[in-house]
Amino acid sequence: MPVYIFQETKISEPDLGAVNSRLRFAMDFRPSDRVSFHCAYDFSARIQDPRLFDENAFLVLLSLPDYRLDDLRDMLYPKPGEPISSFGLFQNLDRFYMTLETDFADVFVGRQPIAWGSARFINPTDIIAPFAFNELDTEERRGVDALRMRVPLGSMDELDLGFVAGKNFKSDNNAFFLRAKIYKIQTDISAILLGFRKHLLIGLDIARAVGGAGLWFESAYVIPNCFREKRAPKEKNYFRSSIGMDYNLNNKTYGFFEYHFNSPGKNRPEKYLDIIPSSAYQDGSVYLLGKHYLNLGCVYQLTPLLPFTGMIILNLSDGSLILSPAFEYNIAEDIYLVAGAYIGLGKNPEVATDPVDSLPFIYRSEFGSYPDLIYTSFRIYF
Nearest to 118 by CA among 251, 243, 292: 243
Averaged pLDDT, groups of 10, the chain, 382 residues long: 56 76 94 95 89 61 81 89 86 96 95 93 93 84 95 91 93 94 93 95 95 94 88 82 94 94 93 88 92 96 94 94 95 93 89 59 86 91 86
How many Å apart are CA 236 and CA 222, to the nearest integer? 9
Q: Give me the residue spans of the domains in the chain.
A: 30-39+54-74+95-380
How many Å apart are CA 361 and CA 37, to the nearest integer? 49
Pairing state between β 106-112 and 75-77: unpaired
How many Å apart are CA 47 and CA 7, to the nearest integer? 35
How many Å apart are CA 187 and CA 198, to the nearest integer? 32
Nearest to 102 by CA among 55, 31, 150, 45: 150
Per CATH, the number for 30-39+54-74+95-380 is 2.40.160
Nearest to 360 by CA among 49, 14, 11: 11
Is 120 strand, coil or helix? Answer: coil
How many Å apart are CA 229 and CA 280, to the nearest integer? 18
Please tell me the predicted confidence (pLDDT) of residue 166: 92
CA angle 286, 289, 295 (to 5 degrees): 85
List, in sequence order, every residue forming a beta bridge with 246; answer none if it has no partner: 214, 256
Q: Is residue 342 within 8 Å of residue 246, measured between CB atoms?
A: no
List, in sequence order, every residue forming a beta bridge with 179; answer none if it has no partner: 160, 192
